Amino acid sequence: MSEKAGTHISHIHDADYEAPYLEKMLTSAALVNETGWGLESLNGKWNFGVDWYDTSRRAKWFLEEGRDPGGRPLPVDWDWEAWERICVPSCWNLARKELRYFEGSGVYTRTFRYLPEREGERAFLRFEGSSYRTSVFLNGSYLGTHDGASTPFCAEISAVAKADNRIVVVARRRVDRVPMENIDWFNYGGIYRDVLLLRTPPAFIKDWFLRLVPDGKFQTIALDVEAAAPGGLPAEGEARLRIPDLGMELPIPVRKGKGSIRFSARPELWSPGNPRLYEIELGFAGSAAASSDTVSERVGFREITVRGRDILLNGKPIFLKGICVHEDHIETGKTTDEATIRATIAHLRELNGNYLRLAHYPHDGRFARIADELGVLLWSEVPVYWAIAFDNPATYADAENQLAELVLRDRNRASVVIWSVGNENDDTDARLSFMSRLAAKARELDGTRPISAACLINHEKLAIEDRLADQLDIIGVNEYYGWYDPDFSKLPRIIENSKPSKPVVLCEFGGDARSGERGSVDDLWTEDKQARLYEKQVEVIGACPYIKGTSPWILYDFRCPRRLNRYQELFNRKGLVDADRKTKKLAFSVMGDFYRSLPD
Ligand code: GCB
C-alpha cells in the first residue's frame, strides 16, 4: 500500500471505504426463526435521508460524532430528526416523485425502547426484505451488511442494545449481483418488508425442518432441529415435539446444536383440495439454561415427487394449473400485505388454477403461509436472472446465500413444491457450473422437493435442449411463439422434436395487450391478439404428453422501465389483468376455460 500524505482525509479519499463493511456479512448462517419469547414490530415512520454518494458509510455517520474531543460542535452533514419521515416498510420510489428512479443509498433511522423482560434474554433484529445491500448499525456499533433484495436476515443486538436505542440502516443498489442491472421489472429500493425485534432465551431453536419423508408410503415424518447457545455456540439439551392431533409427543436429544428424529405417523395429507394443517409445538430446554424456548406453527404434510414424465402429489399425477405473478403493485411496489396476497389467490381460483409461479425472486414470507392455508402450490425462485456474472465467485456466493435464506425461511411450508434456481440464462459453461452448484445446494438444504429452472429453447435446433436439464427434476421452459417470434408454427415442431425424459413445465408464454385496446386478432397490443395467442397456445399444450404444468406470463401488468412504447408506457402489459389488479383482459377467460377443461 502506498504512503498516504498528511493531506489524506479517509472519507473523501478512500476508494475502498466499503471493504471493511464487507468483512462482516449477515448471511443465512445468522438467520433466526421468527418465533421465540416475543416479537415486536419496528415498522412505522422512520427518518430518511437520500444519500446520493454513500456519504453515510464513507464518513461513518453511524458513530454520531457530532462533537470534537473538547466537546465543541462539529459541522456534520446528517441531521436525523430533521429528515423527512418515511414509512417502513415501503419502497422509497413511490414515496415522492423525485425518488421514482433513485438508485443511490437511502439512510433510515429511528429510536426504540428495549427492556429485557426475562433473565438472560437475547435480542435480534430481523429484516424480512431490504433492497439490495443493507448495512445495519445500532448505538454507534456496526452489526453487519446483507446482500440480496428479497430474503430475510438477522443481526443479534444483545451486546449493544440499551433502554434507548438508535438504529441506522443504509440500503443501496448493487448493479453487478443477483440480479444484475438489466432486468425486466422495476428495481424498487429501501426497507420494503417488515422489521422485527425478536426476544429469545439464552439457548433457543434457531432453525427446524419438519416434513413427510418422500418414500411413497406417507407414514414417516422427519424432524431436524438446530439450537443455538450464547456466544454463537451450539446448544446441548433436549427438544420436544408435540403434534396434538396426531397424539404425538416426542423428545429429541440435541447434541452440539443438532437433533434429528424420524417417527411413524399417518397424517391426513395436505393438498389443494384438502389443505390440512397440523398445529405443532417445538420446545427446547438447554442443559445450561433455566428457561426454555417454544416454537408454535401450523404445518402440512404432503409428498411431491417426479416419476418419469409425471409430477406426483401424494403419489398421484397432477397438472400444475398456474400463472406467474410479480410482487409489483401499482401503489405499493414490492411491499405487500395479506389482503393483496389473498386477492391474488382469489384471481388464481377464478382461473380454475391450483398453482402460482412466484417470479423472479422470493416473495414476501406471508405468501407461502397463506398458500399453505388456502391450498395453493408454489414455485419459488431466486433471481439468477438473465446474464448475471456467472464467472464471478462473489456473485455465486451471493446467489447461494439468497437460495439458502429462501429455503430456510420456507422449507416447512407444504405449499412450496418447486425450488427454481434461475430464469432464462444462456447455456454457457460458466452458467452450467454456477447453476449446477446451486441445484446441488438446494438439494443439500432440502432433499424433499423437485428442483427446476426456467430454461430457454434451442432456437436453432427448434428443440427443448439445455445442458442444465440434467441437473433438474422438472424442466422449466419459457417460449414466446406468436409474440417475440411471430411464427407460431415453430411451437408444435419443437414439441414434436423434443423427447424429454422428465416432466416439462411451460413456465412462461404470452404477449402484451393494453387493457381496453381492441382490434383484429392480428393487431399488436390488442386484447384480441392476446386472446387468440392464448387460444393457440393452449391447443398445442393440451395435446402435448409431457407438459405437466403451465404458468403463462403473467397475472398482472407490472412496472418496467424498459418498456417505452405508447401502449406500454413503462409497464410490461402481458398481464391477463391490468395493473389495477381488477380489470380482466379477454385472454383471462381463455386460460380459465382451459384449466376448467383439465381433470383435477
Ligand atoms: C421473459 C422473462 C420475463 C419477462 C418476459 C417478457 O422471458 O422471463 O421476466 O418479463 O419474458 O415480457 O418479455
Q: What is the pLDDT of residues 565-599, one digit of tens each?
A: 999 999 999 999 999 999 999 999 999 999 999 98
**Per-residue pLDDT at 232:** 78
Q: Is the CB of 508 under 6 A from ligand 1?
A: yes
Q: How far is the CA of 387 from the centre of ligand 1 (A)?
A: 13
- What average pLDDT does the segment 250-278 reach? 98
Cell 416434513 maps to which residue? 211
Q: How far is the CA of 370 from the centre of ligand 1 (A)?
A: 26
Residue 115, pLDDT above cutoff 80: yes
The reported pLDDT for the residue numbered 7 is 83
What integer is the mean pLDDT of 481-491?
A: 98
> 157: CA distance to ligand 1 center in Å?
41
State whether the beta carbon of 478 lies less than 6 angstroms from ligand 1.
yes
Cβ–ligand 1 distance for 425 under 6 Å, the answer: no
Answer whether 51 contacts ligand 1 (Cβ < 6 A): no
Mean pLDDT lowest for which of 118-122, 135-139, 271-275, 494-498?
118-122
pLDDT at 3: 66
* pLDDT tens for each residue of 8-60: 888 888 999 999 999 999 999 999 988 778 899 999 999 999 999 999 999 99
Say what percent of the chain tops pLDDT 70.
Answer: 99
Ligand 1 centre distance from Cα of residue 439 (Å): 22
The domains located in the chain, with CATH, are 10-200 (2.60.120.260), 204-299 (2.60.40.1940), 304-597 (3.20.20.80)
Least Cα distance to 594 among 529, 538, 546 occurs for: 538
For the cut 50, the answer to whether the pLDDT of residue 524 exceeds it is yes
User: Which positions ≥6 away from 229 have C-beta within 8 Å?
Assistant: 202, 203, 235, 236, 257, 286, 288, 289
Compute the distance between CA of residue 240 and CA of residue 222 in angstroms, rounded to an integer: 13
pLDDT at 474: 98
553 CB under 6 A from ligand 1?
yes
Segment 459-487 shows an average pLDDT of 97
Q: What is the pLDDT of residue 288?
A: 57
395: phi then psi, degrees, rounded to nearest 5 = -65, -40
pLDDT of residue 2: 54
Whether residue 420 has its Cβ less than 6 Å from ligand 1: no
Q: Residue 438: pLDDT band by 50, 70, 90 thresholds?
A: very high
pLDDT band at 305 (very low <50, low <70, confident <90, very high): very high
H, E, C per residue of 313-341: ECCEECCEEEEEECCCECCCECCCCHHHH
What predicted TM-score, i.e. pTM, was given to this entire model? 0.98
Tell me what pLDDT residue 1 has.
46
Alpha carbon distance 62, 57 (integer Å): 8
The helix/strand/coil state of 300 is coil
- Measured in residues, the chain has a length of 600
Q: Say whether the peptide bond before residue 179 is cis (omega within 30 degrees of 0).
A: yes
- Residue 543's closest CA among 488, 487, 491? 491
